[in-house]
């Protein structure tokens, strides 16, 4: 399953409304890792806006060094940017990317939400208007993983000089029980919201662009408010060191905000704590899909 360059270029030209990234496309069927290939391109002089796309990865990487299973039939792509962002705010790139892609897919009619910190999930809700706000955490009862994001950076003097945003989306590839691919979900949708792999690729690229543009033009506070509207975890019950808490939000640095139950606190500490990505696993609810 290969992408058609002409169809992809036409889809981008037809739908593109932004000018942040001058996309330079490098298409492959199989690579070791799109992030790895893109770093090699950057080291050889490629400019921001360079994109590497494949439908299979043999050595895909996930967050915190985990292996990312990337079988044939998926969409795997990486985009290079030069954000000049403070290194302490690096996770804002992931927040922007997740929100931008989710918003763009929802505009196409695909009910996508965000699972903290970097997962895109397909939500099982009948008759939802995906072009409007989902409204309340009560609608996020069932979801499965549709994709994920891995952002890698290079830092100089405390600033991010280069960043590679890697995105994997399940299109027609096999997935684990907690996942779903878009073609399986679309089998019961008439007409299909995403008609082709080229349309999906265009949608994802435009989503990345719109998210990054929102971050740098409108600021992290505006971005974060929009990100939280699509976050599936708000209101979830979690346990931190055996103390119950409720997820109430995300900080501008990407930390999870958890409000601890004051009735269970045995020492005088701040009832709201911030958790770094990777320090707690939220898991997946059982879905009816």
* Domain ranges within the chain, ordered by starting residue: 5-229, 237-275
Cβ-based neighbour number of residue 10 at 10 Å: 13
In this prediction, residue 182 has a pLDDT band, given cuts at 50, 70 and 90, of very high
Please, what is the average pLDDT of the chain?
A: 87
Residue 136: pLDDT band (50, 70, 90) is very low
Report whether 60 contacts 67 (CB < 8 A).
Answer: yes
Residue 246 and residue 233 in contact, taking contact as beta carbons nearer than 8 Å: no
Instruction: State how far the alpha carbon of 211 is from the alpha carbons of 5, 44, 52, 93, 98, in Å.
Output: 24, 27, 19, 8, 8
Summarize pLDDT for 69-122 with one digit per residue, the tens: 678 899 999 999 999 899 999 999 999 999 999 999 999 999 999 999 899 999
Question: In 3D, which of 93, 68, 67, 100 has the Cα closest to residue 154?
Answer: 93
**pLDDT confidence bin for 59, thresholds 50/70/90:** confident
DSSP codes, 143-170: EEEEEEEEEEEEEETTEEEEEEEEEEE-
Mean pLDDT value across residues 9-33: 83
- Per-residue buried b or exposed e for 215-249, using 16+ beta carbons within 10 Å of the residue's own CB: bbeeebeebbebbbbbbbbbebebeeeebebebeb
Q: Does 282 or 166 have the greater pLDDT score?
A: 166
Parallel/antiparallel/unpaired status of strands 237-240 and 243-250:
antiparallel
How far is the CA of 200 from the CAs of 181, 193, 221, in angstroms? 12, 10, 28
pTM for the model stands at 0.89
Retrieve residue 172's tokens: 């027609």
Looking at residue 269, its pLDDT comes to 62
The answer to whether the beta carbons of residues 226 and 214 sit under 8 Å apart is: yes
Distance CA 69, CA 49 (A): 26
Please tell me the predicted confidence (pLDDT) of residue 18. Answer: 63
Calpha distance 140→50 (Å, rounded)? 35
Domain 5-229 indexed as CATH 3.30.930.10: yes
- Residue-level pLDDT at 64: 46
Cα–Cα distance measured from residue 76 to residue 57, given in angstroms and rounded to the nearest whole number: 7
Residue 276: predicted pLDDT: 93
């Amino acid at each position: 399953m290969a992408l058609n360059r002409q169809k992809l270029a036409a889809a981008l030209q037809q739908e593109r409304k932004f000018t942040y990234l001058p996309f330079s496309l490098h298409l492959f069927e199989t690579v070791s890792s799109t992030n790895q290939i893109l770093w090699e391109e950057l080291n050889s002089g490629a400019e921001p806006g360079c994109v590497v796309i494949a439908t299979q990865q043999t050595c895909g990487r996930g967050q915190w060094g985990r292996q990312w299973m990337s079988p044939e039939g998926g969409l795997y792509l990486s985009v290079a940017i030069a954000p000049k962002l403070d290194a302490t705010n690096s996770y804002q790139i992931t927040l922007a990317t997740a929100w931008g892609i989710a918003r763009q897919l929802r505009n196409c009619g695909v009910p996508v939400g965000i699972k903290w910190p970097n997962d895109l999930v397909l939500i099982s809700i009948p008759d939802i208007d995906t072009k409007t706000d989902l409204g309340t955490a009560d609608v996020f009862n069932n979801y499965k993983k549709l994709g994920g994001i891995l952002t890698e950076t290079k830092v100089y003097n405390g600033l991010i000089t280069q960043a590679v945003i890697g995105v994997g989306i399940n299109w027609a590839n096999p997935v684990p029980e907690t996942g779903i691919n878009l073609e399986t979900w679309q089998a019961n949708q008439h007409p299909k919201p995403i008609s082709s792999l080229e349309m999906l690729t265009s949608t994802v690229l435009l989503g990345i662009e719109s998210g990054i543009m929102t971050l740098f033009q409108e600021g992290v506070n505006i971005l974060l408010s929009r990100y939280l509207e699509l976050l599936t975890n708000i209101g979830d019950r979690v346990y931190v060191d055996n103390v119950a808490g409720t997820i109430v939000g995300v900080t501008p640095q990407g930390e999870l905000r958890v409000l601890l139950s004051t009735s269970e606190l045995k020492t005088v500490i701040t009832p709201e704590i911030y958790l770094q990505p990777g320090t707690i696993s939220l898991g997946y609810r059982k879905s009816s899909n």
